[in-house]
Structure 1
Amino acid sequence: MPDEPEPNGTDQRCIDLVELITAYLDGTLPERSRRRIDEHLELCEGCRTALAQWRTVAALAGRLTPADVADLDPYVRDRLLSTFREPRRR
């Protein structure tokens, strides 16, 4: 994760965190990557806020039952459930 902000003002580390958030929360990141994210989180309030929001979403989604999502469009339901069940692949 580079230390310099992108020309549009977005820090590349913030973008990297968003891409890795699921693995970070699952504890499946390599230790080096996790340490770098932890260091970034110490300095970036925006990413700490985003992480807290993701934790809330994951906790709420983890409580969903099949009955809770039965009335959703099947495509939307499958996408929602797969987001929280499958590790992100690059």
Structure 2
Amino acid sequence: MTKRQTMTCSHLVELLSDYHSGALDTKTAARVRWHLLMCRGCRGYLAQLRSTVATVGRIRGDELDPMFRDRLLAAFRDWR
């Protein structure tokens, strides 16, 4: 990869959700994979994301306190 194609950790963090869900184009996904090969910290961040998604995915809606659910939805309403 050329210097222009090198991805910073902060740029990778912005793309990681889309990478995890398979929403990135082929070229960008390849750049993310390359960065992950070279960066132990970002591999750890991806592992945390995967763990969080798996854990949250097991929570049923009726298990959440309604006030907590409202706060959570409000926090992410304008995200992205």
Runs of 4+ in 1 over 6 A off after TM superposition: none
Instruction: Please give the TM-score of this superposition, normalised by the length of structure 2.
Output: 0.78
More helix by share: 2
Look up the match of 1:60: 55
Structure 1 runs not aligned, ≥5 long: 4-11
Q: Which amino acid aligns with 2:30?
A: R
Query: What is the TM-score normalised by the length of structure 1?
Result: 0.70
Q: Deviations over 1:13-33 (max 9, x none)?
A: 210111111100000100000
Q: Which runs of 5+ in 2 are unaligned?
A: none
